[in-house]
């Protein structure tokens, strides 16, 4: 086990002992959703400077209220029957993280990998009217890693290759899918794509994951 791997395991174990209960997860999910809406409002607001300053001061007061009881690390939760831990504040799929769209993954039965349907707002915009190319990379990395994990061959990302076929539009339903193509010893190869409403792939990706030793 590498040093980094040891740090991760120790750190996750400590968080598990202080996992939030269902009622707290539900409340924090709602709280994060409200901050997601606030973020979208900030990116679009045209209020005058005095009103922006006034709202900013009220936000600082709310931050202080939330900080009155603070976890050392973002929360994790045990998941269903297999007991796998889930990072509730993951920046792509974490419902407790306001920066996550969130992209909620489903497992495709019979070894079909993982998939997600989602719509991105212009908070994630790069070129005008289109999703930032790096945001597509962020989402695909999450799906690729999840597909490797669901396959029973989880690992750290070693390489990630993205091919941008056409711009990815925001504000419309998108689909992303990822599936393991090959396992070679400790290496797992996974393919993924984001598809637009017209059924055409906008970004295709291939990643190679290396399973930790021991």
Q: Which is nearer to a second copy, 51 or 109 (CB)?
A: 51
Residue 159, C-beta contacts closer than 8 angstroms, at least 6 positions apart? 207, 208
169-203 b/e (C-beta count within 10 Å ≥ 16 → b): bbeeebebbbbbeebeeebbbbbbbbbbeeeebbb
- 17-25, 108-116, 181-189, 192-200 -> range binding a second copy (CB under 8 A): 17-25
Cβ at position 101, least distance to a second copy in Å: 10
Q: Is 138 in the site for a second copy (CB under 8 A)?
A: yes
Q: Is 160 in the site for a second copy (CB under 8 A)?
A: yes
The site map against a second copy for 102-121 (x = CB under 8 A) is: --------------------
CA distances from 86 to 21, 32, 68, 156, 180 (A): 13, 17, 25, 16, 21
Q: Which is nearer to a second copy, 180 or 207 (CB)?
A: 207
Q: Which is nearer to a second copy, 18 or 111 (CB)?
A: 18
Q: Is 201 in the site for a second copy (CB under 8 A)?
A: no
Count the site residues for a second copy by CB under 8 A.
94
The site map against a second copy for 34-73 (x = CB under 8 A) is: xx-xxx-xxxxxxxxxxxxx-xxxxxx-xx-xxxxxxxxx
Q: Is 15 in the site for a second copy (CB under 8 A)?
A: yes
28-49 b/e (C-beta count within 10 Å ≥ 16 → b): beeebeeebeeeeeeeeeeeee
Q: Which is nearer to a second copy, 78 or 111 (CB)?
A: 78
* 140 phi, psi to nearest 5 deg: -65, -40
DSSP 8-state symbol, 133? H
Q: Which residues pair with 207 in a beta bridge?
A: 160, 190
Q: Is 213 in the site for a second copy (CB under 8 A)?
A: no
Handedness of CA 134, 169, 95, 106 (dihedral sign): negative
Cβ at position 195, least distance to a second copy in Å: 16
Cβ at position 93, least distance to a second copy in Å: 10
């Amino acid at each position: 086990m590498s040093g980094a791997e040891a740090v991760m395991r120790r750190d996750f174990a400590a968080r598990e002992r202080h996992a939030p209960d269902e009622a707290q997860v539900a409340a924090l999910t709602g709280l994060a959703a409200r901050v997601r809406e606030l973020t979208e409002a900030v990116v679009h607001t045209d209020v005058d400077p005095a009103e922006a300053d006034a709202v900013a001061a009220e936000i600082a007061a709310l931050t202080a209220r939330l900080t009155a009881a603070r976890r050392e690390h973002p929360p994790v939760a045990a998941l269903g029957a297999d007991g796998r831990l889930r990072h509730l504040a993951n920046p792509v799929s974490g419902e407790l993280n306001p920066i996550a769209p969130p992209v909620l993954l489903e497992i495709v039965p019979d070894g079909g990998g993982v998939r997600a349907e989602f719509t991105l707002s212009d908070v994630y915009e790069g070129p005008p009217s289109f999703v930032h190319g790096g945001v597509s990379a962020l989402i695909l990395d999450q799906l690729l890693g999840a597909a490797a994990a669901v396959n029973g061959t989880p690992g750290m990302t070693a390489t990630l290759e993205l091919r941008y076929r056409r711009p990815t539009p925001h504000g419309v339903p998108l689909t992303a899918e990822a599936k393991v193509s090959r396992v070679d010893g400790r290496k797992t190869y996974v393919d993924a794509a984001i598809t637009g409403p017209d059924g055409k792939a906008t970004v295709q990706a291939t990643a190679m994951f290396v399973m930790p030793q021991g």
